[in-house]
Amino acid sequence: MTRWIVAFVAALVLAGTASAQEADLPSPALAPGISTDDLAARIRQFAPVELTFDMALLNASDRALVRKLVEASDALNEVFRLQVWRGNLAYGAALAVAADPGLQTAREYYEIMAGPWDRLAADEPFLDVGAKPAGAGYYPEDATRDEIERWVSTHPEDERAFTSYYTLIGRNKDRLLAVPYHVAYAEPLERAAGLLREAAGLASNASLRQFLELRARSLLSDDYFDSEVAWMRLSGNLVDPTIGPYEVYEDGLMGWKAAYETFIGVRDPGASADLEVLVEHLPDLEAALPIDEAYRNPERSFTSPLSVVDLIYAAGDARRGVMTLAFNLPNDPRVSEAHGTKKVMLRNVIDAKFENVLVPIAERVLEPALASAIEARPFTTLVVMHELAHGLGPRLVHGTEEPVSVRLAASYSAIEEAKADVVGVLSLAHLTDAGVYTPEFLRQVYIGSVAGLFRCVRFGTEEAHGKGCAIQLGHLMETGAITPATDGRFGIDFERIRGAYEELARTFLTIQATGDAAGADSLLLESGELPPAAAAPIARLADVPVDIRPIYPVVEAMREW
């Protein structure tokens, strides 16, 4: 396709973006029923925390490299804002200069939420922009799931492009079109790629230099295979960047489209080595999954590099609403089946959430003896095992080459997050049986997992993690694995909880293995809301932060570099 035709098609797809730059966007104003006091209370849900790290580790070359990575991250942050809503950048610019002093608080919350919708309140608009499109900025605002599915069914030649992680869908009269990301977002992606090439020139580590060069090419081609493999093979690097389009949470319509994000970390090789014992046991953990033998995949790659970093900067999908503790990438099954996946633990983020959020929650919702037993190390190990569990179980629908994520569509993210939760807990139980951990350590894992469910459902049950946690919490209550005491706090039946987790794991894994989209939809609809018995304990958490609000000291330090 010639360059001018590509540009013309991209203009058609992004007509919503183009019009959003004009005067047809509403003037910034609070949504009906929303006050500045209300928004101030919502901001207080996020505890400001400086994500410190040992800045002395960075020499002059490292600092110059970090500056380029931060600048590239900011370019990709612009792209992510457009993925949230095609009018996002224009509306945000208007909000930034709005004269109404009452909008100052709204601007602050807008930055936390990466747009005008409250991610903790089922995407309720707090600014007067109307409902968030189900397809975010990836599809025409009036598109429906049925319309997309019918188009793919009747135009099989378009299926690969439409289901790609890396295309936008637009409409030209009665025709739907797929446009590659590198065309739709050409200007900011070219800017980001140029900065990555400059960063590569500053990298003294050969594997980091190769990754940055390959990732720059990927941003301009949407072919990520080689650069994903290079990212998996990073070795000996101090600065540890993760950059690209990855998670599909933002796509609430089909669950297909990947959002750009960046994490820039500083590695601690010693801490990474301490957790490698988990990686060594992955084949055994796959074999122990509570699922029919036919659905296990013992021949898959269990290569799973593990990196513990202190996060120094994040952008895009990594910096909206609730922050992730850790991640397991890449999601592309072509890479994960052949080369495994890589896990990155954000140590300073995990520590901040444990102290500021999880401990206070445990004190409010668990019996005192349980709350006093909660420990940081079992919680951190559970976070690691959750990420490793993403690499266990089905990635392709049994007997096909179709990714589970494509078959389950918008339901995939919630099912996958819940699967990783329960398989992570069960894996640590299996390792306890094998003598890797003590029964007391496993007991603390169970305590941390239950407290973590109460933490997670506060994200909102429209969000993938929150919905998956609601299913787990409801099941643990129904089976008597957790029970309310007379004061409203919960106890844990340690004889029942493992069996309850096994039942959940079997359900989630079987849905994925069989590609049971209807079963996934039904489960999320019937069980994806907060259990009534959890309402009172959740109400006692009103003054406990829902999450942290990261402050990046590197931004201030860069002014002196």
Tens-digit pLDDT profile for residues 201-221: 999 999 999 999 999 999 999
C-alpha–C-alpha distance, residues 299 and 288, integer Å: 14
**Which uninterrupted H or E stretch holds 265?**
strand 260-267
Strand partners, 267: 309
407-to-254, 507, 518 alpha-carbon distances in Å: 10, 16, 10
C-alpha–C-alpha distance, residues 127 and 194, integer Å: 35
Q: What is the mean pLDDT of residues 388-416?
A: 92
Give residue 454's pLDDT band: very low, low, confident or very high (50, 70, 90).
Answer: very high
In the predicted model, is pLDDT for residue 7 greater than 80? no
Mean pLDDT score of the chain, rounded to an integer? Answer: 92
| Amino acid (1-letter code) at residue 483 | T
Q: What is the mean pLDDT of residues 506-535?
A: 94
Tell me whether residue 527 is in a domain: yes
DSSP calls for 295-344 = G--TTS-----EEEEEEEEEEETTSSSSPPSEEEE---HHHHHHH--EEE
Q: What percent of the chain has pLDDT over 70?
A: 95
Q: What is the mean pLDDT of residues 43-47?
A: 96
**Which uninterrupted H or E stretch holds 177?**
strand 175-180
For residue 10, the model assigns a pLDDT of: 57
Query: Residue 287 contacts by C-beta under 8 Å, 6 or more apart in sequence?
Result: 296, 298
Among the listed residues 392, 169, 187, the one whose alpha carbon sits nearest the alpha carbon of residue 279: 392
C-alpha–C-alpha distance, residues 343 and 273, integer Å: 13
Tell me whether residue 278 is in a domain: no
Tell me whether residue 364 is in a domain: yes
In the predicted model, is pLDDT for residue 428 greater than 90? yes
In the predicted model, is pLDDT for residue 46 greater than 60? yes
For residue 299, the model assigns a pLDDT of: 73
Where a domain ends, among 117, 147, 180?
A: 180
Q: What is the mean pLDDT of residues 111-115?
A: 98
In the predicted model, is pLDDT for residue 8 greater than 60? no
Q: Report residue 269 as tokens.
A: 């090789």
Tell me whether residue 348 is in a domain: yes
Strand-pair category, 46-50 with 117-118: unpaired
Q: Report residue 409 as tokens.
A: 């569509």
Number of structural domains the chain divides into = 2
For residue 11, the model assigns a pLDDT of: 53
For residue 277, the model assigns a pLDDT of: 80
Tens-digit pLDDT profile for residues 229-239: 999 999 999 99
For residue 307, the model assigns a pLDDT of: 87
In the predicted model, is pLDDT for residue 175 greater than 50? yes
For residue 47, the model assigns a pLDDT of: 96
The size of the chain, in residues, is 561
- Cβ(57)–Cβ(238) under 8 Å? yes
Owning domain of residue 355: 323-545
Among the listed residues 387, 359, 390, the one whose alpha carbon sits nearest the alpha carbon of residue 454: 359
Give residue 496's pLDDT band: very low, low, confident or very high (50, 70, 90).
Answer: very high
Strand-pair category, 124-125 with 482-484: unpaired
Q: Find where tokens 């990474």 sit.
A: 272
- Is 478 in a helix, a strand, or coil? helix
Among the listed residues 277, 288, 280, 278, the one whose alpha carbon sits nearest the alpha carbon of residue 509: 288
Where a domain ends, among 122, 145, 180?
A: 180
**Which uninterrupted H or E stretch holds 307?**
strand 306-316
Tell me whether residue 226 is in a domain: no
Give residue 12's pLDDT band: very low, low, confident or very high (50, 70, 90).
Answer: low
Tell me whether residue 115 is in a domain: yes
For residue 20, the model assigns a pLDDT of: 42
| Amino acid (1-letter code) at residue 480 | G
For residue 2, the model assigns a pLDDT of: 44
Tens-digit pLDDT profile for residues 55-89: 999 999 999 999 999 999 999 999 999 999 999 99
For residue 385, the model assigns a pLDDT of: 92
Give residue 549's pLDDT band: very low, low, confident or very high (50, 70, 90).
Answer: very high
C-alpha–C-alpha distance, residues 136 and 252, integer Å: 7
Q: What are phi and psi of 24, to 5 degrees?
A: -85, -5
Strand partners, 264: 241, 313
Among the listed residues 99, 96, 69, the one whose alpha carbon sits nearest the alpha carbon of residue 81: 96
Q: What is the mean pLDDT of residues 175-180?
A: 97
133 cis-preceded (ω within 30 degrees of 0): no
Q: At what angle do helices 104-113 and 36-43 cross, to 10 degrees?
A: 40
Tell me whether residue 445 is in a domain: yes
Q: What percent of the chain has pLDDT over 90?
A: 79
In the predicted model, is pLDDT for residue 162 greater than 70? yes
Tell me whether residue 338 is in a domain: yes
In the predicted model, is pLDDT for residue 25 greater than 70? yes
C-alpha–C-alpha distance, residues 139 and 253, integer Å: 9
In the predicted model, is pLDDT for residue 139 greater than 80? yes
Among the listed residues 316, 331, 377, the one whose alpha carbon sits nearest the alpha carbon of residue 350: 377
131-to-30, 104, 249 alpha-carbon distances in Å: 14, 22, 17
Q: What is the mean pLDDT of residues 175-200?
A: 98
- Is 180 in a helix, a strand, or coil? strand
Q: Report residue 422 as tokens.
A: 């329960």
C-alpha–C-alpha distance, residues 309 and 264, integer Å: 9
211-to-181, 226, 301, 307, 388 alpha-carbon distances in Å: 20, 9, 21, 16, 23
Tens-digit pLDDT profile for residues 342-361: 889 999 999 999 999 999 99
Q: What is the mean pLDDT of residues 328-348?
A: 86
Least confident of 99-108, 258-267, 302-311, 434-443: 302-311
- Cβ(313)–Cβ(73) under 8 Å? yes
- Ramachandran region, residue 115 (left: φ > 0; alpha: ψ -120 to 50; beta: rest): left
In the predicted model, is pLDDT for residue 337 greater than 80? no
